[in-house]
Structure 1
Amino acid sequence: MFEEKNPDIKVKAVYVPSGTGAQPTYDRILAAKQTGKGSGDIDLFEDGLGVVTKGQKDDLWDNLSTDHIPNLNNVDQNTLNDVSNLAIPYRSSAVVLAYNSETVKDVPKTLDDVYEWIRSHPERFAYNDPSTGGAGSSFVTTSIYKFLPEDAIHNTDPSIESQWDQGFSLLKDLGKYMYGKGIYPKKNQGTLDLLTSGEVDMIPAWSDMVLDQLDKGQLPETTKITQITPGFNGGPTYLMVPKLSEKKDAVYKFLDFVLSPEAQNVVVDKMHGFPGIKLTNMSQE
């Protein structure tokens, strides 16, 4: 779509595995900056909020504005303020419960219901190693902050960690009821594979991954999803421009396209995500 309208610009996408797979790319950008070698031939980087914040501390990301990317006006300014205009939240997803509807009849509605279901159905629940994928990380984070005030999740003061003990105790107690009595699969796909094979009946999963794999017939038709109240922690996926990129003009043009209603329809229709622009700016067709 973009290259058809901009034949002078070639976009080279490089797949990076979820979880820790993005770390070498980040390290490459940082090393290039430290050695005076620009951005390491990386002109646009996708990752989560943690990497946005880390890059802010390392002074890696370009400050983005409507002067260069007019369609930034389509994005809720509050979400841009959250990242100091250093990243574009171009799509979002939610972590939900995915379950086998043939075996799960009493579907949890709250977080406490989930914990009770886990205890009542030993080894039939799994979440992935939180360092390897956002679904498992969301389950852990939601559990840790369950006992804290609602706004604590936004507290970046390291002292907040002293209040995590109760949440970690909960996770430790749940461990003996997990798949394999404490086996945590690698990556978001790892738990989806267990659900597909019937080795577990319920997992936390990204909504877009589940919907995409259902569409492609990669998950059983009996797979259903539900959101608990309050929901699991989730959020946007961000695009960052390395400050020392030598191709900023082309990147700005690409980002402007990404934030167009045309491209955002692809996020919704093909990627099964939530749009990164305000709904009022989406195509009404």
Structure 2
Amino acid sequence: MPAKPGKAVALDVLDVAGNLQLTQGMIEAFERAHPETVSKVTYSKAPAPDLAGKIKAQQQAGRVQIDLVLTGTDGLAAGVEQDLWADMKPFRDRVGDPDYLQPAADMAELAQGKGTAIVYYPSGPLVEYDPDAVKSPPASPQALLAWAKKHPKRFQYADPANSGPGRTWLMGLPYLLGDKDPADPEKGWDKTWAYLKELDKYTAPYASGTTETMKNLAGGQVDMIMSTTGWYINPRALGTVPKKMAVGRFDRMTWVTDAQYAVVPKGVDADTMSAVLQLIKWILTPEQQAKAYDDGYFYPGPAVKDVPLSMAPAKSRKVIEEYGVPDFDRWIDEFPKKPSLPAQAQVKAFDLWNRNVAGG
């Protein structure tokens, strides 16, 4: 592996997680600062469920055209399951040893050396609702079920395999319901699967992604959806969802933390890999991490320590001052945090949800 490319390389970056909202400014800054390493960056986007098939087809054809994938735990898990990602462990010294926040370090471990955590947030599960229609937000899963029974088809969440709020809800329920083993969706989630099957009778049709639920809430098709810190702030800041929408939490909640990752498909050449490693190291510096506050999409956003909001660009500070929720910081400190399921368990959870809940 060369210390740097023989000549500047063109990078093709695929985003399946909305991550470019957080990192495109970091990548563009690297491109400007290091023209000897990167000559050009091309960006594309795709839904997370399409990722594994897209990469696998390129690998089988012997023509890997995507050099870097920005993904959430869903795409990461699918790629780990099918052995699509390059092993990053031998190159750890190239990236350095990021001074991760502890929950972000726990999320980094989920990559099993097949990727690098680049942004982090405590996620949820949270409920977002129209205060004109929901006078008292549910403070427990049982209260949510009772509300849904009284207001059929007015509550919605998205397919967990393609939605941060959807999978955070799925993985947060075992803690809220006191299930036997929150880490084992196959043998430890009896209460969770029973609850979701019952809730299924009263929910609106499952959305294909989070954005669909936001549009339905904004348009009045539903009154309440599952959300997260970032998904509550960002669509309101962008005007996708009216500012008046409110947010609530469950009593005695456990945060299911989330992260997004940089992964490299197997088959990328050595020069390109050396450039990608330099880029990842750049992204994990505090100066670049401060840009992860963005417009609140992944609030807070930075994965490393000592990156306060005061370091963020002025636009980010203004958005979070206007659309943020002071209670979020208090709740983040107050309630315990658990990492998302490991890759294989997450794939199993999505499969069981498809068969036992959506398929029912």
Q: 1:5 to 1:67 in 2, by over 3 A?
A: same
Q: 1:243 to 1:131 in 2, by over 3 A?
A: closer
1:239 aligns with 2:262: yes
CA–CA distance in 2 between the matches of 1:283 and 1:206? 19
Q: 1:44 aligns with which of 68, 73, 89?
A: 68
Deviations 1:74-126 (A, max 9, x none): 56544333322322221234132111122222122233332233233333211
Q: Report the Cα offset of residue 271 of structure 1.
A: 4.7
Deviations 1:244-273 (A, max 9, x none): 311111111111121122221111133532
Q: 1:195 to 1:85 in 2, by over 3 A?
A: same
Alignment of 1:1-285 (within 5 A): 1-8=29-36, 9=38, 10-17=40-47, 19-20=48-49, 23=50, 25-35=51-61, 37=62, 40-59=64-83, 60-64=85-89, 65-70=91-96, 72-74=98-100, 76=102, 77-93=105-121, 94-95=123-124, 96-143=126-173, 146-149=177-180, 152-155=181-184, 161-179=186-204, 183-228=205-250, 229-231=252-254, 233-246=256-269, 247-273=272-298, 274-280=300-306, 285=311
- Using CA pairs below 8 Å that are at least 6 residues apart, which structure has the higher relative contact order? 1
Unaligned runs of 5+ in 2: 1-28, 312-360
SS in 2 for 1:277: coil
TM-score, structure 2 normalization: 0.66
CA–CA distance in 1 between the matches of 2:286 and 2:240? 29
CA–CA distance in 2 between the matches of 1:101 and 1:257? 42
Give the alignment's Cα RMSD to 1 decimal: 2.7
**Counterpart residue type for residue 230 of structure 2:** D
Deviations 1:161-198 (A, max 9, x none): 1444443332222223223xxx2222111111111012
How many residue pairs match? The answer is 270
Task: Name the stretch that deviates more: 165-174 or 195-204.
Answer: 165-174
**Counterpart residue type for residue 215 of structure 1:** A
Counting aligned pairs with the same residue, the percent is 23
Q: Report the Cα offset of residue 242 of structure 1.
A: 2.2
Q: For the Cα contact (< 8 Å) 1:74–1:259, is it kept in 2?
A: no
Q: For the Cα contact (< 8 Å) 2:290–2:308, is it kept in 1?
A: yes
Q: 1:249 to 1:73 in 2, by over 3 A?
A: farther
Q: 1:272 to 1:137 in 2, by over 3 A?
A: closer
Q: Report the Cα offset of residue 280 of structure 1.
A: 2.5
**Counterpart residue type for residue 148 of structure 1:** D
CA–CA distance in 2 between the matches of 1:169 and 1:121? 20
CA–CA distance in 1 between the matches of 2:186 and 2:99? 36
Q: For the Cα contact (< 8 Å) 1:135–1:205, is it kept in 2?
A: yes
Q: For the Cα contact (< 8 Å) 2:172–2:256, is it kept in 1?
A: yes
TM-score, structure 1 normalization: 0.81
